[in-house]
Homo-oligomer: A and B are copies of this chain.
Amino acid sequence: MKRDIITIGDLTNSEIEEIFDLADQFLREMSKPTHPHRIRGRRTDAQSHIMAALFYEPSTRTRFSFEAAMLRLGGDTLGAADPTTTSAAKGESVADTVRVIENYADVIIIRHPYEGAARAAAEYGDVPVINAGDGGHEHPTQTLCDLYTLRKESKSLSSANVMLVGDLKNGRTVHSLVYALARFGANVIPRAAKGLELPAEVSRRLIEEYKATPVPARQFFGGNDEFVDLDVVYVSSASTLGLVPAKQRPRLDGERDPGSPHRGIDVCYVTRLQGERLAGGEKRGADYPVIDKSFMSANRFRETSVMHPLPRVNELGYDLDEDPRGLYFKQAAYGVPIRMALISKVLGIRPFVSTEAAPETILYTREDGIVCGNPRCISHHPSERLHLRKKFWLIKTRPVTLRCIYCEHNYAPHCYGDVATRRYTTDLAELDTVYSDQIVFFADETQAREAGFKPESATERVRHV
């Protein structure tokens, strides 16, 4: 069974800890005393493996850190840095590309502008696929670097307050990160630029799946705090104690009672405006928040780690570069040992050993009926839409939710039919208990009727076992 790493959800908490332990080992064995977060030299672990890096979007740090990781492991790399120099320029589908490349490489790293492209690659390829960023969807290896950086800095995530600043709508690193934070017990404090708020879908998922509790900022921070103008704080209720054993947390401000939740900020995570994801003509930036030495001079930020996935534009001041609170260059440095560990895991050189079970899932795969509602989903890409198999996770919310397995966009179907009786109904209330593979979902009644289904009469009720 090959392992693909497309979202941070593809890894259990114990697997993430395994990756971090292996990264620790690489750092111990290979790092320079002067720079304990940097790795040097070359191992032989992966000396007979080839990694292919398929980058359909610009990248320096992600591509280079994957390549450096593979080289440090002793392996080799193939790379396409530019989609215009590849067969994509001839209109080739991701599915075809990956079925060809799997013959040339033992693991595929992919970055793509369409959401869900990495999962599509994984579905069609026989070798492990790692997502290096798919549109605005996820960027799980960045999240691993972020979490690992906090662990190396002895920051416990349990009950930590992590403020996310900037473009929370389009920043894929943010989406991977908030789920991981919730899973490891941290509170998520969104501080979005105007109009670039966390998508409702991410917020809903935080609450419904990751059991975070939305608390009004006024209540969380207290009534006369300057942060009351923030909208909401997602307070984690994760049972896990988090990524590292809790240390005696330093008092962050005078308001904090021992034993009660503190209101200081442990981490300020800044992201740039994702200009390349703005719709044509859209322009932002006038009121985009800037985190610099002046902003960070407030007492509440005295012990706050400043993080940024880089590259930055103007949202993060150069005057923080020498500040010990700034961790962003370390984040980049830790990318190598983390990716070395991850590649070792998925190549099976150091296989995962933990037995924590992944959550059970139900797959919905009917080709008729609904399609994904996200226009930026890979399933709507001109090269893919004619052949990519439609697949959804069926989430047992009430009413039921369908989640595209590619882009993870949620979809609330309007009605469903029974393929045996050819009847449909808009009553989805009890569906989570009666679901079977006889069921087909529709976007609306028109679609159902066009597919040859008739409305269910009052007397006949669809019943499935």
Contacts and interface: CB of A to CB of B under 8 A. Distances in A.
Contact of A78 (B67, B332, B386): B67
A37 B106 CA distance: 14
Using C-beta atoms within 8 Å of the partner chain, give the interface range for chain A.
Answer: 35 or more
Nearest to A55: B85
Contacts of A37: 103
A101 interface: yes
Given A35-B126, A91-B311, A336-B104, A68 B59 contact: no
A41 interface: yes
A249 interface: no
B103 A65 contact: yes
Interface stretch (A42-50, A208-216, A455-463): A42-50
Nearest to A92: B311
A434 interface: no
Nearest to A106: B40
A312 interface: yes
A37 B91 CA distance: 26
A358 B387 CA distance: 47
A311 B87 contact: yes
A304 B336 CA distance: 49
B87 A76 contact: no
A78 B68 contact: yes
A128 to B, nearest CB: 14
22 contacts: A37-B103, A42-B76, A50-B68, A50-B72, A55-B85, A59-B87, A60-B86, A61-B87, A61-B101, A64-B100, A64-B104, A81-B82, A91-B311, A91-B313, A95-B318, A97-B311, A100-B329, A100-B332, A103-B329, A103-B333, A104-B335, A318-B387
